[in-house]
Structure 1
Amino acid sequence: MKETFKVHSKYHDIASQLRSVLLDFEQQGDYLVKGERNSIKTIEISGEVFNIKKFKTPNLFQSLVYRFFRKSKAQRSFEYASKLIELGIKTPHPVAYMENFSLGLKDSYYVSKHLEYDFDFRVLNHNPKWPHRMEILQQMAAFTFQLHEKGIHFLDHSPGNTLIVDQGNTQYDFYLIDLNRMRFETLNLSQRMKNFRRLWLSKTMINIMAPVYAQLYGATEAETHRLMTKHSRKFQRVKNAKKLRRRKRKAS
């Protein structure tokens, strides 16, 4: 079996301990998430806490693709996190990744520094009375503008993938997670507004965020609002239609 194991230069001194933990993943650490697709555990090494994400074992075809044609999700997560930090965008610090191959990719792991955060973007969707919701949404719009200006197209820009740290005085830091789907490219205004669609924005949220983005970009509020609304509503209609079809199939 072939193994790939890479550690960020900042963590070379604990490389052997990290590797041992990954090789014994099932017996090490505590589960944060134990899902059908991916699992996440926390582990403490030398007084620091780390998160280990084990990706779903791919089927035979996918495993061969990851072996010969495409980087694994673990490798992409590590490399994209490193690039985000280089660009000044916050994400839990990348620590290491491991891949195990037989004929194709068998399993893979991504390790990052554990982040103590206050909440994620989902609370803003579900709780219109969340404290300082308007200020957080305004700052989220400015944060997304920074992503786009730096050529970062985060394809999974969804509510659960932005962790938020309250710095006090209504100032917030935004950290991106689940990074394996990302492109680095120049986006026009319509493409930028389309990138908001997965955040599942309400009319009120768009009314708050669109003017901030418009001012930073130099577009009119009307056009920015129109495009953000257009892409958000189209995405929501498609998702809701799929949910309805699934319910009908279950009921029949």
Structure 2
Amino acid sequence: MKTVVSEAYQSKKATLLNFITNFKSQGHKIYGGDRNTLKTFDLEGEKVTVKAFKTPNVVNRIVYNYFRKNKAQRSFEHAHILLSLNIGTPFPVAYMQNSNALSFLDSYYICKHINYDLTYRELVEQPDFPQHEAILRAFTAFTFKLHESGVFFKDHSPGNTLITINNGDYKFYLVDLNRMTFGKLSFQDRMENMKRLTPKKEMVAIMANEYAKLSGELEGRIFKTLWELTSDFQMKFYRKRRLKKRFLFWQNRE
């Protein structure tokens, strides 16, 4: 097993490896889906989150073994880049990957656990959430900082920003970090990066207003572009979901 541990956790490497060895039988599961599993473990009095990535298909096993960094490695490296830019993300503790002479098998990413109060999703689903507009504007400022820092977060979606609240002070932490690029972002790039966040026109309007204040761009241009991209994304998203349900319905009948 290839193991890379952040400097601050080198003395705990053996314990971290033990978490992976006993991942199936130990730890507290906080998420278990078709793609990935998340568990928390106690690391000598400190809680950490371990993300086990689903074993990839045959082609990607070869790709990850010889040609491309796996998801755990990218998550670990991207987290370090974000922190160097003073952008919030849970501190990266380590990553591990299993492989043999022929192919990649599986990988794990370990980071410090964040006790968060909400994600962006709650702002979408609960319009009466306390301090809703203030949090939304602060989140927009956080997104603007991402863009100004040259970060294009490809999975900038409702569940991938953890939010903590402390007496009106809002802090934001990105998770699910494996899909990112870095470089100067155009206006269109910035709007594309925000199109998955909410289907609600009133939220897009507030975000456009705040982004205009920070960027100096015309509010009308931001709103028009972002709303068009958002509407197009939502239409394609629900069309894909309908087709998937229809396909599964006929598949189940067989």
TM-score range, shorter chain: over 0.9
- Percent of pairs with identical residues: 42
1:42-57 alignment to 2 at 5 Å?
42-57=40-55
Could you say which residue in structure 1 is the equivalent of 2:96? Answer: 98
* Correspondence for 2:129: 130
Partner residue, 1:156? 155
Residue number in structure 2 paired with 1:119: 118
Distance in 2 between residues matched to 1:94 and 1:251, nearest whole Å? 42
Give RMSD over aligned pairs: 1.2
TM-score (structure 1 length as normaliser): 0.96
SS at match of 1:32: strand
Looking at structure 1, the residues matched to 244 and 33 of structure 2 have their Cα atoms a distance apart, in angstroms, of 21
* Alignment partner, residue 239 of structure 2: 241
Structure 1, unpaired ranges of 5+: none
3-state secondary structure, aligned to 1:12 = helix
SS of the residue aligned with 2:114? coil
Secondary structure, counterpart of 1:199 in structure 2: coil
Counterpart CA distance in 1 for 2:92 and 2:143 is 21
User: How far is 1:154 from its partner?
Assistant: 0.2
**Matched residues in 2 for 1:19 and 1:247: separation?**
40
In the alignment, is the contact (CA less than 8 A) between 2:199 and 2:234 conserved in 1? no
Cα distance, 1:251 vs structure 2 = 5.0
SS at match of 2:159: helix
Query: Which amino acid counterpart does residue 145 of structure 1 have in structure 2?
Result: F
Match of 1:35 in 2: 33
From 38, 62, 65, the equivalent of 2:63 is 65
- Post-superposition shift, 1:25? 1.5
Matches within 5 A, 1:1-252: 3-102=1-100, 103-169=102-168, 171-250=169-248
Residue 250 of structure 1, CA deviation = 4.6
Q: What secondary structure, in the 3-state scheme, does the structure 2 residue paired with 1:36 have?
A: coil
SS of corresponding position for 2:173: strand
Letter in 2 for 1:195: N
Question: Aligned AA for 1:243?
Answer: R
Paired residue secondary structure (2:214):
helix
The alpha carbon displacement at 1:136 in A equals 0.8
- Structure 2: runs of 5+ lacking an equivalent: none
Stretch moving more, 241-250 or 225-234: 241-250
CA drift of 1:36 comes to 2.0
Residue-by-residue CA offset, 1:23-62 (whole Å, 9 max, x unaligned): 2221221211122211111110211011100000112211
Partner Cα distance (2:156, 2:21) in 1: 31
Q: Which runs of 4+ in 1 moved over 6 A?
A: none
Paired residue secondary structure (1:27):
coil
Maintained 8 Å contact 2:41/2:49: yes
TM-score normalised per structure 2: 0.95
Deviations, residues 185-224 of structure 1 (Å, cap 9, x unaligned): 1111111011111112411001111011112111111101
Aligned 8 A contact 2:198 2:204 in 1 = no
